[in-house]
Structure 1
Amino acid sequence: MRDYIALIHKDADSDFGVSFPDLPGCVTAGTTLDEARALAQEALALHLQGMAEDGEAAPEPSSLEAIMSERANRDAVAAVIPGSRGAAKAMRISVTFPEDVLGEVDAYAEAHGYTRSGFLQAAARRAMREDETAA
């Protein structure tokens, strides 16, 4: 398991944004700091899973010192986000979507740095988490 450094950014008129310098395109945001950290762990897991599915090796995590030595990163708060604790077996499933909805899913996923599978997993986890907190 590898831990990665996430950078948490907050402007006065925005949510908490999270990015991973070692993993370009792995980004998320939350309305609260706690939500941003939880979504960061989810985004990291999905991103690493997508890389594995694509046959790509995950990069070695940079040190905190290396990341914070870059001037552009100094306005953010660094957080250590644990990577996946173990590789869960991926299962292929078949689902049916109307063509226009699938197009919207793909466009949204691409614009936000997800694979289709990664986005659908994140949406399912978010819905389940919201149901748990509403109960």
Structure 2
Amino acid sequence: MLYPVYVHKDQDSAYGLTFPDFDGCFSAADDMQDIARMAQEAVEVYFDGEDLELPEPSSPEQWIGDDRFEGGYWLLVDIDTSKINSKSVRINISMPEALVKRIDAVAKKQHLSRSAFLAKSAEMALH
């Protein structure tokens, strides 16, 4: 499905990606050719383990005049919704307390829950 992604870039920054249809979902891409891949990954992580309904895509025209979306541009990105799994499965794992603290610190910096961080890390390791 084609979802609008607001792209903004300062001179010395990566391309910032904001998804108005997924409140609080955002990402960044160092190069333009990475925008679609990073958008897909961000949406997958956003829904991972959450009990959220997938919204119908809005259109960029709906967001005209919204102060949050000024100074950048819109892209329509094809999000493969078949890769979105909002049903979580509870697991119980054990690991050293120091490692859990390090995981929590990095997850917080990335604005992720511990579960989302671990799922994202596992996905990256499995690729």
TM-score by length of 1: 0.70
SS of 1:117's partner is: helix
Give a deviation string over 1:38-93, Cα, whole Å, max 9, x none. Answer: 121111022123432xxx44444332211234244142232223152265564444
- C-alpha change, 1:8 and 1:126, in structure 2 (3 Å) is farther
Match of 1:22 in 2: 21
TM-score by length of 2: 0.73
Answer whether contact 1:50 1:115 (CA < 8 A) is retained: no
Q: 1:61 aligns with which of 48, 54, 57?
A: 57
Task: Give the Cα separation in 1 of the matches to 2:103 and 2:116.
Answer: 11
Normalized per residue, the structure richer in helix is 1
> Unaligned stretches of 5+ in structure 2?
none
Match of 2:112 in 1: 114
Match of 1:85 in 2: 82
> Unaligned stretches of 5+ in structure 1?
130-135
- Give the fraction of aligned pairs with identical amino acids, expressed as a percent: 30
**Cα RMSD (Å):** 2.7
Aligned residues, how many?
A: 125
- C-alpha change, 1:87 and 1:58, in structure 2 (3 Å) is closer
Task: Give the Cα separation in 1 of the matches to 2:49 and 2:6.
Answer: 21
Answer whether contact 1:16 1:31 (CA < 8 A) is retained: yes
